[in-house]
Amino acid sequence: MLEKRTPIPVTEAIDKCLKYAKYKSVTKKYYTDSLGDTLAEDIIATYDIPMFDKSPYDGFAIISESSEGATGDERKLFKVIDHIGAGHVSDVQLKDNEAVRIMTGAPIPKGADAVVMFEQTTPTEDGFTLRKTFTPGENISKQGEECKQGEIVIPKGTKITAGVIAVLATFSYEYVNVYQKPTVALIATGSELVEINEPLAPGKIRNSNGPMIASFCKAMDIEMKDYRVHGDDFDALYEVVRNALDAHDIVITTGGVSVGDFDFMPEIYNKLSAEVLFNKIAMRPGSVTTVAVSDDKFLFGLSGNPSACYTGFELYTKPVLRKMMGQNEVYPTVIKATLSEDFTKANPFTRFIRADLDYRNMKVAPSGFNKSNAVIAIAKSNSMIVLPGGTRGFKQGDTVDVLLTDLSCQDTLW
Ligand SMILES: Nc1nc2c(c(=O)[nH]1)N[C@H]1C(S)=C(S)[C@@H](COP(=O)(O)OP(=O)(O)OC[C@H]3O[C@@H](n4cnc5c(N)ncnc54)[C@H](O)[C@@H]3O)O[C@H]1N2
Ligand code: MOO
Ligand SMILES: [Mg+2]
C-alpha cells in the first residue's frame, strides 16, 4: 500500500528543521582569515572612538568665543601659533584670537573648541581672518561620538564581512572566536545519472544537481565530500549514506525521495532509525523534500528534479547551515515587487517560481520555463516569486512576495 503523506506548511517545515540545528564548536582564527565565518563572541569597543576630540577638516583650531560678532564687514583676525598634522599633538594652550593650523584627524589643542576650514578663511601675514561666528564644538569630532569603551559594537552571531574585519582591526582583535562550520556529504542518487564526461546513452541524463549543490558548499567555504553519483541499488546506497552520516554533520542527497519503485531514501531513513521531520510540504516544486535527523545530524533528501532540488536547498538546507554556523540571520529575505506578466496557473500549494527581479523598478517575472524539472530558469534567476496556496490568476501589476536568492553566491560567501 502506498504510504499516505501529509503536507505541512513551508514555514512550519523551516522551523521544524531549525529547532534541531545546533551550533558547532568554537575555534579561534587570525582575524583576516575569519572572513565569511560567524562571530562566536561579542566584539567590544576597547576604547572610545574617536579616542580624543579631533579635527574633521584641514583648517584652524580656535576658541569659538574669539569669532563672536564676525561678519563680512567686520572680519576677526587670528594669529597662528602652531601647526600640526594627524599623528601629532600640539602642546600649546590657546589664548584669545590665537589659532593652531591643524589637519584632518589631529587632536584638538588645549583651549580650542572649534575648527575653521581653510575655505572659510582669508590668509594674512601671520594668520587669517574669518567672517562668521563659530559655536562651541563646531567642526569637532567629539571623543566617543561613534562608540564608547565597553560597548558591544558587533554582536555574536554576525557574519564576518569586510566591514567587520575593519572593526576587528580597529579594536585589536588579532585572533577572534568563530563558529566551526558543519561538514557536508553530497550524494546524487539515480541509475539514470551520468557525469559530465560520460556518454549520454539512451535514457540517461546528466547529473546537474550534484555540481549545483557542491558549488553552494564551495561558495560557503564548507568542507564537503562529494560522493558523486550512486545508482538505485538499495544496499549499496544504504551503505554510502550510513558511512556519509558517520563522517559528516549533514548528508545531502538528491533524488529518490518520492514514491517511485526505485525511490529508496524513505526506506533508508527507516533502516537508519532516523527521525523524519517531514516528507511532504505544501509547496511546488519540491513537495516531496524530506528532512530527517539522527542525533545532531541532518539528512536532507532533496528532490531529484533540478528546480525542486534547488528550491529545497534554498528553503531548508541554507537556513540550517546558517544556524549551525552560528548566524543570527537565518531566514530567507522576502520583499514585495510588482508582477510584470500574467501568471494564470492555479496554485494548490504555495508556489515558488524561479524569477528575475528588476531591482531598479522592483518588477519581477518568471526567469523562463519553470516546471519542476527545469534547470535553465535557475541559472537565470535572482529570486523566487512566492504565490500563496489556494490562489490562481495573478495579473501583471499585482503585488507579489519575492524571496531573494543569490546564485552569484555573494550572500553565501561566508
Ligand atoms: N506518483 C507520484 N509520483 C511523483 C510524485 C508523487 O507525489 N506521486 N511526486 C513528484 C514530484 S513532485 C517530484 S519533485 C518527483 C521527485 O522525485 P524524486 O525526488 O524521487 O527524484 P527522482 O525520482 O530520483 O528523480 C526525479 C527527476 O529528477 C531527475 N534527476 C534526479 N537526479 C538528478 C540529478 N542529480 N541531476 C539532474 N536531474 C536529476 C530524474 O532523472 C527524474 O527525471 O517525483 C514526482 N513523482
Ligand atoms: O513537488 Mo515536485 O518537486 O513539483 O515536481
Ligand atoms: Mg522518484
Residue closest by Cα to atom 1 of ligand 1: 259
Grid cell 563680512 is found at 72
Residue 8 vs residues 16, 210, 283: alpha-carbon distances, Å: 10, 27, 9
Q: Please, what's the b/e burial string for 171-196 (b: 16 or more CB within 10 A of its CB; e: otherwise)? A: bebeebbbbbbbebbbbbbbebbeee
User: How far is the C-alpha of 106 from the C-alpha of 61, rounded, in Å?
Assistant: 10
- Any atom of ligand 2 within 6 Å of the Cβ of 207: no
**Ligand showing the shortest atom-to-Cα distance for residue 253:** 1
User: How far is the C-alpha of 141 from the C-alpha of 31, rounded, in Å?
Assistant: 28
73 is written with which cell numbers? 564687514
**Ligand showing the shortest atom-to-Cα distance for residue 290:** 1
Residues 20-65 have pLDDT tens digits of 999 999 999 999 999 999 999 999 999 999 999 999 999 999 999 9
Contact by Cβ (8 Å): 147, 20: no
Distance in Å, CA 94 to ligand 3 centroid = 83
Grid cell 527507516 is found at 270
Complex confidence, ipTM? 0.98
- What's the confidence (pLDDT) of residue 1? 67
- What's the confidence (pLDDT) of residue 146? 98
Burial bucket for residue 202 (CB in 10 Å: 0-12, 13-18, 19+): exposed
User: How far is the C-alpha of 113 from the C-alpha of 322, rounded, in Å?
Assistant: 49
Q: Which protein residues touch ligand 1 with a CB less than 6 Å away?
A: 188, 190, 192-193, 205, 207-210, 254-260, 263, 285, 287-288, 303-306, 308, 372-373
- What's the confidence (pLDDT) of residue 412? 46
Residue closest by Cα to atom 46 of ligand 1: 258
Strand partners, 115: 61
- What's the confidence (pLDDT) of residue 199? 94
Contact by Cβ (8 Å): 327, 178: no
Mention every residue, 6+ apart, whose C-beta is less than 8 A from residue 40.
26, 156, 177, 178, 179, 326
Number of neighbours of residue 122 by Cβ within 10 angstroms: 10
Residues measured by CB to lie within 5 Å of ligand 3, the ion: 258, 260, 263
- What's the confidence (pLDDT) of residue 410? 57
111 is written with which cell numbers? 583651549
- Any atom of ligand 2 within 6 Å of the Cβ of 372: yes
Distance in Å, CA 162 to ligand 3 centroid = 43
Phi, psi of 35 (to 5 degrees): -55, 130
- What's the confidence (pLDDT) of residue 40? 98
- Any atom of ligand 2 within 6 Å of the Cβ of 286: yes
Residue-by-residue pLDDT tens, the chain, 414 positions: 677 899 999 999 999 999 999 999 999 999 999 999 999 999 999 999 999 999 999 999 999 999 999 999 999 999 999 999 999 999 999 999 999 999 999 999 999 999 999 999 999 999 999 999 999 999 999 999 999 999 999 999 999 999 999 999 999 999 999 999 999 999 999 999 999 999 999 999 999 999 999 999 998 899 999 999 999 999 999 999 999 999 999 999 999 999 999 999 999 999 999 999 999 999 999 999 999 999 999 999 999 999 999 999 999 999 999 999 999 999 999 999 999 999 999 999 999 999 999 999 999 999 999 999 999 999 999 999 999 999 999 999 999 999 999 876 555 443
- What's the confidence (pLDDT) of residue 406? 80
- Any atom of ligand 2 within 6 Å of the Cβ of 34: no
Distance in Å, CA 215 to ligand 3 centroid = 24
Mutate to test the pocket of ligand 1, among 3, 232, 258 (most ligand atoms within 8 A of CB): 258
Number of neighbours of residue 22 by Cβ within 10 angstroms: 12
Phi, psi of 77 (to 5 degrees): -100, 135
Distance in Å, CA 373 to ligand 1 centroid = 8
Mention every residue, 6+ apart, whose C-beta is less than 8 A from residue 192.
203, 204, 205
